[in-house]
Structure 1
Amino acid sequence: MANVRLQDVAELAGVSMKTVSNVVHEYPHVSAKMRERVQRAIDELGYRPNMLGRRLATGRTGLIALAFADVTLPYFAELARRVASLAEEQGYRVIIEETDNTLEGERAVVATSEAGHVDGMIFQPAKMSSAELSQTRTDLPLVILGEGAAPLTIDRVMIDNVAAAREATAHLVSLGRTRIAFAGHELDQLSRTSELRIAGYQAALEEAGLTVAPELLIPSAAISPIDSAVSVGAALDAGLDVDAIMCRDDLAAIGALRALQERGRRVPDEVAITGWDNTMMTSVTFPSITTVSPDMTALASRALTMLRERIDGLDSMGRHELVGFELVKRESAPAS
């Protein structure tokens, strides 16, 4: 019913139009019983408030932006789904912004933010520096995700990448592996994500008394299974001796799995593999892939809570928080 009016909701609920307006605009003095009564009428009629009217009445749109590099990457697609679902429960809708993993793209989404038509933004930067982010527009409530730049003045939520990488590598060591490669990091310039994961990988090897050899770092031309398959395959063809590969992400793990299978190397008997992100395909590859699983629900929930607090006027230094992770052990590197 596209033409449902506020008056129609009021008549069905048996209340005044002012009461319906108070519920729509989330005024706190409406009783729980009355709010439930009005909400039933809203749901039954499929009423959607006029966004322009809402903005004029409250100064808010009920829209937030979610900005990241590439919606085709499985991690970001899953993140967008979680954020959108939780935001809807809180009365918000989400606009997706892509930065194409470029500095210009990141600057553009922060500078324009839908020309002021959103109440705030959740943003995962990869290129902008902390200094530049700290000087961005101050009228836009902002929460940062991930391992990239995060000024002390801006809220940020992430997992402990060093600890997660250390745990994944230590698991491979526990399986008796001693020649453990790291695959899938950037060929030219390391992202902050790769830096932290390599640091955790190196720490675990050193704790186990294993040699950290430069030749065990296998870079990839791009974040994709194809590029990972090419780079891992080239390293194996050149004679690299490995009995395990910790991969930067699940896409790299899938590519590494393909490269090993093409060369007749059995996984996990000869070479064990771990991925990162616990994306859906890792449970159905053959063999299925052991992977670091960030607590995506907690990540999205905490980011939304922080953003709503900023939208509601919280003025404080940035809060930098960690959410949990677990190592999901599957066939490519089973439990010891």
Structure 2
Amino acid sequence: MAGVRLQDVAEHAGVSMKTVSNVVHEHPHVSHAMRERVQKAIDELGYRPNALGRRLATGRTGLLALAFADVRLPYFSELANLVSRAAAQTSPGYRLLLEETEGTLEGERAVLSASEAGLVDGMLFQPSQISSREIAERHGDLPMVLLGEGPAPLSMDRVMIDNVSAAAAATRHLVALGRRRIAFLGHEAQALSSTSRLRIVGYQEGLEQSGLSADPALLIASDEITPAASAASLGAAIDAGLKIDGIVCRDDLAAMGALRALHERGICIPDDIAIVGWDNISFTATTFPSITSIAPDLDSLARVALEMLGERIAGFDGLGRHRLVDYELVVRESAPPA
């Protein structure tokens, strides 16, 4: 019901507006029976507290922001879903606002400068372009936890996986399958993101740990982080005579592009070329063949990030805590068990 007011809830429940306010703001002295009575009226009327009014009354809005590059990217849409559900289960339960930066420096600066205009109690932010120094200078007093591989000030919390270790594990898996000409596909053709840089370092480490030399000719960049761009880049490299028998992909989008390029050329996967993706997005289990992929523990990432953000909102003001969450290599048809 549109335009439902606190007064409407009070009249529907047969209680005072103060009682409704106490329930909405989770005051502990409200009896269980009264809380249930008011909550029933709230649910029946569809009442939603005004965020600014709630902030004036309690100093909190009950809203968190999640800022990242692009909700159209499957990894971020799946992450947003997990964070939203995890935030709702915290105490107090939070609702989530999404903020897209388009992966640009200007977009990331805008997110930090606006600080959501006082609408949120805290923010989870996954930067890709902005420097550590600018983050420290621009984020102001808004409680914030950083996600991912981007640079992070020592004063701020961050949660990520060990990208170098994970890329090395993906590379070693292909080596264990007998592959010796292993390419890396899907990184930026121009300025490397922090994500791509770390994964290439891990790819090189995996080669060297296996007694293989890193060959710059096996780095296949893309004009965009899309399946189509990766398919075009890989196809052009193969057509030009590049010989490979394995591919570590920057992400699952690059892996899906690789499937397309290889199918179009009659190249058998995994017999001729084995493929490992990254992120373990839901599509990877249903492609043909299904894609072996590095799977970050997103449940742990969401939980740890929200725990630290909750502590910041509650007043913790110590130095930044940098936490690693686990990952696993989910083995499927594109690079089967060794």
Q: TM-score range by the shorter chain?
A: over 0.9
Quote the residue 2:176 is aligned against: 174
SS of 1:97 mapped into structure 2: strand
Does the aligned pair in 1 maintain the 2:51–2:119 contact within 8 Å?
Answer: no
TM-score (norm 2): 0.93
Quote the residue 1:89 is aligned against: 89
Q: Does 1:327 align with 2:329?
A: yes
Q: Can you list the C-alpha shifts for 1:274-310, whole angstroms capped at 9, x where unaligned?
A: 1001112211111111111111122122222222221
Identity %: 67
SS of 1:72 mapped into structure 2: coil
| Corresponding residue to 1:198 among 194, 197, 200 | 200
Moved more, 192-201 or 89-98: 89-98
Taking the aligned partners of 1:70 and 1:82, their CA distance within structure 2 comes to 16
Quote the residue 1:50 is aligned against: 50
Does the aligned pair in 2 maintain the 1:225–1:254 contact within 8 Å?
Answer: yes
> In structure 2, what residue type is equivalent to 1:155?
D
Deviation for aligned residue 1:236: 0.7
Quote the residue 1:259 is aligned against: 261
* Structure 1 vs Structure 2 CA RMSD: 2.0
Where does the alignment leave 5 or more consecutive residues of structure 1 unmatched? none
Superposed, 1:90-239 pairs within 5 Å as: 90=90, 91-239=93-241
Quote the residue 1:63 is aligned against: 63
Taking the aligned partners of 1:169 and 1:31, their CA distance within structure 2 comes to 59
The number of aligned residues is 336
Query: Structure 1 pair 32/178, CA: closer, same or farther in 2 (3 Å)?
Result: farther
Deviation for aligned residue 1:32: 6.2
Deviation for aligned residue 1:52: 3.0
> In structure 2, what residue type is equivalent to 1:248?
R
Taking the aligned partners of 2:264 and 2:271, their CA distance within structure 1 comes to 15
Taking the aligned partners of 1:250 and 1:177, their CA distance within structure 2 comes to 20
> In structure 2, what residue type is equivalent to 1:150?
A
Query: Structure 1 pair 304/34, CA: closer, same or farther in 2 (3 Å)?
Result: farther
SS of 2:319 mapped into structure 1: coil
Deviation for aligned residue 1:9: 4.6
Quote the residue 1:22 is aligned against: 22
Deviation for aligned residue 1:22: 2.4
SS of 1:126 mapped into structure 2: coil
Does the aligned pair in 1 maintain the 2:277–2:291 contact within 8 Å?
Answer: yes
Query: Structure 1 pair 32/278, CA: closer, same or farther in 2 (3 Å)?
Result: farther
Taking the aligned partners of 1:10 and 1:333, their CA distance within structure 2 comes to 61
Deviation for aligned residue 1:318: 0.9
SS of 1:206 mapped into structure 2: helix
Deviation for aligned residue 1:17: 4.1
Does the aligned pair in 2 maintain the 1:65–1:113 contact within 8 Å?
Answer: no
SS of 1:107 mapped into structure 2: helix
